[in-house]
Structure 1
């Protein structure tokens, strides 16, 4: 299946979860925010959200500051 990640089309296995996607992209150990089809997904839901053909994701790195 194909999904858009930060504006780039990526080919992924059917039914992959957001948690599995982060492992696939080697981003699982980072502090991130993920928007899935215009909705921000809480980290606690990454394993429950399954991607589908045509989904759009924005993945950004959280940066601390003061």
Structure 2
């Protein structure tokens, strides 16, 4: 199915959870996930299913100095 991930079209499997998407993207470190303008608590990543057409934003914290 298709979703909008950080402003770009992206294909994922049906019944994909947030944790499965994160694993597929191979993300490490700290990040925040928002689906349809709602921030998803980290404790809900495995339960939160992604639906076709969802608008997903993933923001990673990057240190600098």
Could you say what the CA RMSD is over the residues aligned between the two structures, in angstroms? 1.3
Structure-to-structure mapping, 1:1-66, within 5 angstroms: 1-27=1-27, 29-63=28-62
Secondary structure of 2:58 counterpart: strand
- The alignment's TM-score, normalised by the length of structure 2, stands at 0.91
- The alignment's TM-score, normalised by the length of structure 1, stands at 0.89
Query: Which 4+ residue blocks in structure 1 deviate beyond 2 angstroms?
Result: 62-65
- Give the count of matched residue pairs: 64
Gaps of 5+ in 1: none
Gaps of 5+ in 2: none
